[in-house]
Amino acid sequence: MAPHQEALSEIALQTRESPVFLCHSQSSQLSDMTEEAGMFRVHHTIGSVLCCKCGIPMTPNAANMCVKCLRTEVDITEGLQKHATLVHCPECDRYFRPPKTWIEPQLESKELLTLCLKTLKNLNQVRLIHAEFIWTEPHSKRIKVKLRVQKEVLNGAILEQAYIVEYVQQEHMCESCSRVQANPDQWVASVQVRQHVPHRRTLFYLEQLILMHDAARCAKKIKPMNQGIDFFFANWSHGKKFVEFIGKMVPIKSHRPSQQLVSHDPKSNNYYYKYTLSVEICPICREDLICLPREVASGLGNPHSLVICTKVTNRITFLDPYTLKHHCLDAEQYWRSPFKALLSSRQLVEYIVLDVGIVYSEVHVGGSKYALADAQVARLSDFGKNDTIFNITTHLGHLLNPGDHALGYDMFATNSNDMELEKYRDFDLPPAILIRKTYEENCQGKGGKPPPLMSREYEEFLRRLEDNPELTLNISLHENKEYPPPSVRDGEEDSACGALEKLLANVDLSDDEDGDDAMAE
């Protein structure tokens, strides 16, 4: 007997003796051996039956009917909701989600599709396979959703069918918008932001951060006040969320909120209050000269008594101008032992640099460059009138050259009554502390004549943005083509004058390009 015939006899014998059916591998092995032996093989065919309604051949199923006849007999979408209503607020562009929530989904988004499906009744009677939006005109106040469902019908047969649900957008103002329409001055929560300093630079910067992150989109009213801004909200949670946002941007101290009873409904025992949240911003600003209290200095590693504030975010960063070391103080540590600035930016004096000698090479501290140097400077107001020259140590050695101008604090002529400074009278205080190099002489023609309504403080804030590109990382900038170009002295191009132009080199929001983009779309 041939070897393959012996193998077939073995498999047949095992099959007769074993009550288990052949597995797929054994069946394929048997078919391969049959083909090699040249034996006749019966091909498996799928039988067909005639539909009991129309009589066409079809694959057998539990109902013995073709798909067309089965759909005429059974409609699995019968009893399902094909028309529904969505409540929409035209003022805040939000949709109502029962029982009492208003959400703000985008058109054809997952959130809006979820809201549409949850409004349908009896959808649990079928199995949902797929759902998608069908495009409609935006002004038609109609939203169409195409659903594909499955359901078990006659004798266990599963039928799949698609149908369209049409939603009518019903306009109805939410409670907060209704209050505003009835009385625009009506509010529930007020956030009072204050900073007790003689300038508004921090508030200008905070304003740009709010615009960048759209944090005040729920505010019903914004009112500028003395040394601060008031924000009015129609909901207590919106005001609380806004306070949390400010706390992530700048170091603040949030006082205990106060409440005032507006009305009381004795039948339902409901009370309506107005809440006021008071937020105080840290009075320390960038470029301020600070005399650290002894308890604060000991917690920071005992730096020099006089430090410079270089950055203010949710924490304050100080620079020791004599050791080039950075020290950070968060909001909780500051308000535990609060202190004020010894001198602010309004008290800066212009100096002219006579000589510079580098002590230490350039180093990177906190993402900025510094170089310790010994310099001889003289007040610009005294230059040519007397021979008063100051020998100082500065952290701007990498920027200063003989003949440059710099702004600094005049410790020689300053009469300060700071109690913390009195404790350091035994130490030799420097006659001057330089803060930054000034480019006013090179950029004096930049910007031309300022607008009449723009204050000097805002002009100073914009100038600081141009000189410090780091401050523009969290601010939305736009280039104005009609703005007059800067005038450069004798063809000399200065880095600070062109910093903003380099930053906006690829930004162009002119009307012509906007029109071209619209046509391209």
Which range, 64-78, 124-138, 260-274, is most confident? 124-138
CA distance 19 to 198: 97
Highest-confidence segment of 121-135, 413-427, 441-455:
121-135
Tokens describing residue 406: 């710099």
Separation of alpha carbons 127 and 148, rounded Å: 9
φ/ψ of 213, rounded to 5, equals -95, 0
pLDDT at 395 over 80: yes
Q: What is the pLDDT of residues 19-53, one digit of tens each?
A: 333 444 455 565 666 566 666 566 666 778 888 77
433: which 2 tokens?
């502390």
The predicted structure's pLDDT at residue 488: 42
What pLDDT, on the 0 to 100 scale, is given for residue 281?
Answer: 93
Where is pLDDT greater, at 127 or 470? 127
Residue 399 confidence (pLDDT) above 60: yes
What's the rounded Cα separation, in Å, for the pair 292 and 225?
Answer: 30
Mean pLDDT of the 212-237 span = 88
How much is the pLDDT for 469? 67
Lowest-confidence segment of 54-58, 173-177, 477-481 by average pLDDT: 477-481
Q: Among 129-133, 163-167, 185-189, 343-347, where is mean pLDDT lowest?
A: 185-189
Q: Specify the amino acid at residue 429.
A: L
Tell me: pLDDT of 273 over 60. Answer: yes
State pLDDT tens for residues 300-346: 887 778 899 988 888 899 998 888 888 899 989 899 989 888 888 88
Residue 301 contacts residue 327 (beta carbons within 8 Å): yes
pLDDT for the residue numbered 216? 87
Do the Cβ atoms of 254 and 277 come closer than 8 Å? yes
- pLDDT higher than threshold 80 for residue 506: no
Q: How far apart are CA 140 and CA 169, in angstroms?
A: 9
Q: What angle do CA 433, 437, 443 make, to 5 degrees?
A: 150
Query: Is the pLDDT score of 99 beyond 50?
Result: yes
User: How far apart are alpha carbons 70 and 287 in whole angstroms?
Assistant: 81
Q: Where is pLDDT greater, at 15 or 182?
A: 182
pLDDT value of residue 487? 46
Cα-based angle 315, 320, 291 (whole degrees, multiple of 5): 75
The dihedral built from the CA positions of residue 449, 453, 454 and 455, taken in this order, carries a sign that is positive
Instruction: Report the half-sphere exposure of 23 (CA within 13 A, side-chain side).
Output: 2
pLDDT on residue 490: 40
pLDDT of residue 91: 85
CA separation for the pair 361, 397 (Å, rounded): 9
Range scoring the smallest mean pLDDT among 230-244, 256-270, 282-296, 408-422: 408-422
pLDDT beyond 80 at 510: no
pLDDT at 9 (0 to 100): 47
Mean pLDDT calculated for residue range 195-223: 87
Q: Give the residue-averaged pLDDT of 186-212.
A: 88
Q: Is the peptide bond before 99 cis (omega within 30 degrees of 0)?
A: yes
Pick from 30-39, 50-59, 112-121: least confident: 30-39
pLDDT of residue 124: 87
Q: Band the pLDDT of 408: cuts 50, 70, 90.
A: very high
Kindly report which listed range (179-183, 240-244, 291-295, 324-328) carries the lowest average pLDDT score.
179-183
Asked which of 84-98, 191-205, 266-280, 476-490 is least confident by mean pLDDT, the reply is: 476-490
Token output for 357: 């000698």
Q: Which residues pair with 290 in a beta bridge?
A: 307
DSSP for 411-423 reads TTT-----HHHHT
What's the chain's Rg over C-alpha atoms?
39
What is the pLDDT at residue 460? 77
8 A C-beta contact, residue 486 and residue 497:
yes
pLDDT at res. 383? 76
- The model's confidence at residue 201, banded by pLDDT at 50, 70 and 90, is confident
The total number of residues shown for the chain amounts to: 521
Report yes or no: 373 and 399 within 8 Å, Cβ to Cβ. no
Q: Please, which residues have CB within 8 angstroms of residue 490's CB and are 6 or more apart in sequence? A: none
Q: Which two tokens stand for residue 256?
A: 């205990």
pLDDT score of 508 = 52
Mean pLDDT of 272-301: 89
CA separation for the pair 312, 325 (Å, rounded): 16
**pLDDT, averaged across the chain:** 79
User: Which is more confident, 482 or 69?
Assistant: 69
